Structure 1
Amino acid sequence: MVMVEKAQHLKMKMEHVRFGKEELERRRKSPVHVPAEHVAAQLKEHYHVYIVDPRLGFNQRTFRFWINFRSVGEEMEFSGKQLGHRHTVEAVIYIHQGHGYSVIDGVKYPWEAGDLICVPVFAWHRHHNESSEDLIYFAATTGPFSMATGIALYEEENYPEYWVFAQKGEEAMKTLIPGGAEAPPGGKVELDQTRWKPKGPRSSGVPTAAEIYFDQLNFAQEEEKRRRDSKVVVRAKDLEFSPTPMGRVAYGVDTKLGYHVKVLGTLFAEIPSGKRSGAHRHIYEETNYIISGQGYSIIEDQKCEWKKGDTLVIPVFAWHQHFNTGKETARFLVHTNRPCMESTGYIHTQQGEPADYD
């Protein structure tokens, strides 16, 4: 342990207080609008462009938002004998243009424009473009969260120790737990849980230390099963919009719909021509990609005009409301870290003026 003087402890305490106050200023100064033309200009120089990322000055800490472009016949991420990768990151991919399929833990999932792909944490995956046009897709990934919490892992199958499918076929169902299924014969230990059962009476309802530990082991195994049993693709044709105080909404990736996510959630929102959404604020991050329409948003004291292809970034706990001034229905692709805030107990939402349409 590093020994510090009393004054240093006081300084560290005041830094915590000061951080909270300075965070408000960082949110206020964080960019809220990324024009489509800025992204298009960068795509001419590189096929992969980060749109929203904390490294770009955005005060968004748990997920990033980016666009990828692939030419006809080119795989989305790999070529040759590279079979895919996996990472301790949640990923939700929106297919903007093109059609093809993904192989996720040995299972093939076809998709087309407008669909979402929800890649489970630490699942082996790769993606293929089968269309006769260039493929364009957007992705929200929780890399910043994994990096900040120290759990970031990334593995590619182009290294011999990770040639899982190459050795056992594409249908191999390998573990999501690092080193689990790849352990050599005899490398795993089967534990007889009866050995640690209490030998006498104990306090009612109070688990033993061994029971708590075995719950930990069992949770990891069950968690793997939950990931594999979860849904992966959101079909655009199956989206059902329904009225809410914020307007017409269709939830895409959500725990209540059978998707195994802990940090990232995704929905679509629509605003008819000449109408406005509801107003609210919340303690979770939000990024909106404008799929169609034009209008403006009020974000705290800022008025931000937007159009098709733009991206809006809503600071945490900032009041915001959207207005459609165009002739067509505006549609938003909305990514948030609401599941993370709900599971940690930090969630808080305040509703203001409701939408003026059903």
Structure 2
Amino acid sequence: MSRLVAIDRPAGPGFVEELRRIWDAGDAAFPVDQRLPRPARDAVVAAMRVGDEVDEGDALVVATSGSTGAPRGVVLTHEAVAASADATSARLGVRDDDHWLACLPLSHVGGLSVVTRSLRTGTRLTVLERFDPEDATRSGATLVSLVATALRRIDPASFRVIVLGGSRPPTDQPPNAVTTYGMTETGSGVVYDGVPLDGVEVEITEPADGAVDGEIRLRGPMLLRCYRDGTVPTTPDGWFPTGDLGRFLPDGRLHVTGRRGDLIVSGGENVWPEAVEAALGDHPLVDDVMVRGVDDPEWGQVAEAVVVPRGRAPTLVELRTHVKRSHPAHLAPRRLVIARSLPRTALGKLRRHDDDRSA
């Protein structure tokens, strides 16, 4: 009988060896987030039913990032892991002399997929216990998966290709970086620079109420089999509703507008946080920013900017003026919070609905 086995150890060669042993025994692996305190680790291990039976062919159970609520266990089969590795490697043009660097948390699919990709293709692999700019550069790796915050701390020219995911890409994205769209349920990124990987289908549902964007749905061989509780989120014909809204651009590329639940409706106007964040990110006094909707008696909702300043704190008037130079006035934030840091998941995704602001 195959069962789910926890890998509760730091990232490194030992993690990779343990994953191999688990797979060789016919079991599935659940990587435990090493940053969690022991009570939280015990709780997530129990929630994922470590030690219990898994279906034949199951390879991994990976916790979702939790950006929209409590994490769920995503069940990925060996076939799905192989399909993801093959399609990704083909798109990136991975060569025999390439060298992957895994420096993101292995408890999340963005970091773990680097390891599984290397195992599938036989590509050389270096695994760091945690991201360190100097260690990353000294690794000699040619391929790396990063999030935007890590990208800002390294010399992009150190790598042949940088796979960038987790959160919105920087406005000054280097030419050797590839922006990905995907999630735990898709086993890693499945759309690269707006173009689906081979074997991946993308469709957008009919927009509701005259809106421009519909829900993005994905289908392909790398999708999850089910959640650990047995729930199957795909439709009978294999489509996975992502909960993200988007549209196809004139050149056929996919444009992801944002999470359905993140949309701010202010005075009847739609305000997408990502668009406002991108505009505010160019302000010289803004080091980091998050935009979210808050209730307002006059407007229904208004956009609130939570800003980590660079130097002195900007004023709301300065930020509104900056946004209105390139966007309609209704996109300019109406409230401002100055914070020391922003709530993010391990892969850099903003927790817009997290009440812990660290202000």
TM over 0.5: no
Structure with more relative contact order (C-alpha pairs < 8 Å, separation 6 or more): 1
TM range (shorter): under 0.3
**So what's the TM-score if we normalise by structure 2?**
0.24
Larger Rg: 1
